[in-house]
Structure 1
Amino acid sequence: MPAAPAPVFRLYLLRHAKAAWALPGQTDFDRTLDDAGFADAEIVAGMAADRGLVPDIVLCSSAVRCRQTADAFRRAMTQDLDIRYIDALYAGGANIYREIIGSQDDAPPSLMVVGHNPVIEEILREALGEETAAEAIPAGYPPGALAVVDFDTRPSDGALPLGRLAAWIDPDRHNR
Structure 2
Amino acid sequence: MSVAEPRRIVLFRHAKADWPQVSDHERPLADRGRMDAAVAGRKLADSGIPFDLALCSTAVRTRETWKLAVHELAERPKTVYEERIYEASPGELIALLNETSDDAQNVVLIGHNPGVQALADILAGHAEGDTRERMSRRDFPAAAFAVLSFEGSWKSLEPGVGTLLDYWAPTE
Once the 2 structures are TM-superposed, how far is the Cα of residue 53 of structure 1 from its aligned partner? Answer: 2.7
Once the 2 structures are TM-superposed, how far is the Cα of residue 111 of structure 1 from its aligned partner? Answer: 0.7
Q: Percent identity?
A: 27
- Structure 1 CA distance for aligned equivalents of residues 126 and 142 of structure 2: 20
Which shifted more, 136-145 or 77-86?
77-86
Q: TM-score, normalization: structure 2? A: 0.86
Determine which of 83, 88, 94 is the counterpart of 1:98. Answer: 94
Say if 1:149 and 1:53 are closer, same or farther in 2 by CA, change over 3 A: same
Runs of 4+, deviation exceeding 3 Å = 129-134
Report the RMSD for the aligned CA atoms in angstroms: 2.4
Aligned equivalent of 2:25:
29
Once the 2 structures are TM-superposed, how far is the Cα of residue 157 of structure 1 from its aligned partner? Answer: 6.0
Once the 2 structures are TM-superposed, how far is the Cα of residue 128 of structure 1 from its aligned partner? Answer: 1.0
Aligned equivalent of 2:134:
136
Task: Specify the SS of the correspondent of 1:171.
Answer: coil
* Matched letter for residue 164 of structure 1: T
Aligned equivalent of 1:150:
149
* 1:83 equivalent in alignment to 2:79: yes
* Matched letter for residue 52 of structure 1: G
Determine which of 38, 44, 48 is the counterpart of 1:48. Answer: 44
Tell me if the contact between 1:58 and 1:111 (Cα under 8 Å) persists in the aligned partners.
yes
Tell me if the contact between 1:155 and 1:161 (Cα under 8 Å) persists in the aligned partners.
no
- Structure 2 CA distance for aligned equivalents of residues 163 and 157 of structure 1: 11
Aligned equivalent of 2:113:
117
Once the 2 structures are TM-superposed, how far is the Cα of residue 47 of structure 1 from its aligned partner? Answer: 1.7
- Structure 1 CA distance for aligned equivalents of residues 47 and 154 of structure 2: 25
- Structure 2 CA distance for aligned equivalents of residues 78 and 67 of structure 1: 19
Gaps of 5+ in 1: 1-5
Once the 2 structures are TM-superposed, how far is the Cα of residue 162 of structure 1 from its aligned partner? Answer: 1.9
Once the 2 structures are TM-superposed, how far is the Cα of residue 20 of structure 1 from its aligned partner? Answer: 0.6
Which shifted more, 116-125 or 135-144?
135-144
Say if 1:70 and 1:39 are closer, same or farther in 2 by CA, change over 3 A: same
- Structure 1 CA distance for aligned equivalents of residues 160 and 105 of structure 2: 15
Once the 2 structures are TM-superposed, how far is the Cα of residue 13 of structure 1 from its aligned partner? Answer: 0.4
- Structure 1 CA distance for aligned equivalents of residues 6 and 29 of structure 2: 34
Say if 1:105 and 1:81 are closer, same or farther in 2 by CA, change over 3 A: closer
Which shifted more, 57-66 or 139-148?
139-148
Q: TM-score, normalization: structure 1? A: 0.84
Once the 2 structures are TM-superposed, how far is the Cα of residue 14 of structure 1 from its aligned partner? Answer: 0.1
Say if 1:133 and 1:118 are closer, same or farther in 2 by CA, change over 3 A: farther
Tell me if the contact between 1:151 and 1:162 (Cα under 8 Å) persists in the aligned partners.
yes
Once the 2 structures are TM-superposed, how far is the Cα of residue 55 of structure 1 from its aligned partner? Answer: 1.6
Once the 2 structures are TM-superposed, how far is the Cα of residue 133 of structure 1 from its aligned partner? Answer: 7.2
